[in-house]
Amino acid sequence: MLEFAQKYLNAGFSIIPLAPNSKRPALESWSEFQQRRPTLDEVAQWWQNGSNYGIAVVCGKVSDIVVLDIDDEEKFGVALKTIGEKLPDTPIARTRKGWHLYFRYPANRIVRRHDRLDDWGAELRGDGCYVVAPPTVIDGKRYHWAKRNGRLMALGEVPIAECPDWLLDDFNVPFADEQNEPNTAHQSTQPQNYNDQSAGNGLPSWARTVVALLRPYWQAGWRHDTALALAGVFAKRGIPKETAEAILRELVRETGDNEAKDRLRALMDTYGKLAEGENVLAW
């Protein structure tokens, strides 16, 4: 596993270890590896002495890749046939129930997690996501590089293709300049600058508004579900986990909630599940 991990690192990918036989990160937090690649020493420490940790490749700008995660081959095949498109040759990994196709991160788009599981049986993963990488084994099934028309589509054997524009369009991936344009339909729910430190307690001004709105409803019996739903909407909108954690801590402090650890655990679990492609509760 150390040899494979080093190959991914040499290919320019950010990688993280996974708990044995699991999609869960083996790290307490993997957020920093969304911004930087691990060092050779860190990789050696994770996979030294025959460690049975799995390997995950962090998607997004940090690795210069997006991954098309196909869960339902039949649905996806119907979608491709309907629109009359074909996917280019690019590295393809066989997963437990589908496929991972690796593409270059587009220069003029902002790719996060874009879900079309209901109609396409697939989702597109970018910033804030990761995918299980070969040769990790989960539930007795080994992830491995697939063949296409008799050719092995392994990393290093075939170049990583540019992500097709039609695929980005069909998954409603926004252009980079659209992220900075005013959107009156979402101004109250989707802040444009998640790191605007313009309020007290180190929170952005919009976050202070969230705390003020939720404070009256942070009552016994509702708190856990509310924390889960709040974490879900933050994670899906790409709000940094650190900002979401600061909001939860402030809510707990202002309402005298004595179960801070449970609230924060709900937050961490939600961000982790979303990164793995699982469904999460959200408003």
Beta bridge partners of 151: 148
Please tell me the predicted confidence (pLDDT) of residue 202: 63
| 89-129 tens-digit pLDDT | 999 999 998 999 999 999 999 999 999 999 999 999 999 99
Which CATH code of 3.60.15.10, 3.30.1540.10, 3.30.720.160, 1.25.40.10 fits the domain covering 2-176? 3.30.720.160
Residue 16 is encoded by which pair of tokens? 């993280």
Query: Cβ-count burial of 238 within 10 angstroms (0-12 exposed, 13-18 middle, 19+ buried)?
Result: middle
Give SS3 for 228: helix
From CA 145, how far away is CA 25, in angstroms rounded?
A: 22
**Cut 0.75: pTM above it:** no
Please tell me the predicted confidence (pLDDT) of residue 179: 56
Q: Which residue carries 């629109």 as its tokens?
A: 83
pLDDT for 6 beyond 60: yes
Please tell me the predicted confidence (pLDDT) of residue 283: 67
pLDDT for 18 beyond 90: yes
From CA 142, how far away is CA 148, in angstroms rounded?
A: 18
Q: Residues 42-50: what's their mean pLDDT?
A: 91
Residue 111's CB is within 10 A of a number of other CB atoms, namely 25
CA distances from 202 to 35, 49, 193, 210, 237 (A): 21, 42, 14, 14, 20
CATH 3.30.720.160 in the chain, residue ranges: 2-176
Mean pLDDT of the chain: 86
From CA 170, how far away is CA 19, in angstroms rounded?
A: 34
Percent of the chain clearing pLDDT 90 (strictly above)? 57
Please tell me the predicted confidence (pLDDT) of residue 252: 85
Please tell me the predicted confidence (pLDDT) of residue 272: 81
Please tell me the predicted confidence (pLDDT) of residue 38: 96
Q: pLDDT class for 201, splitting at 50, 70, 90?
A: low
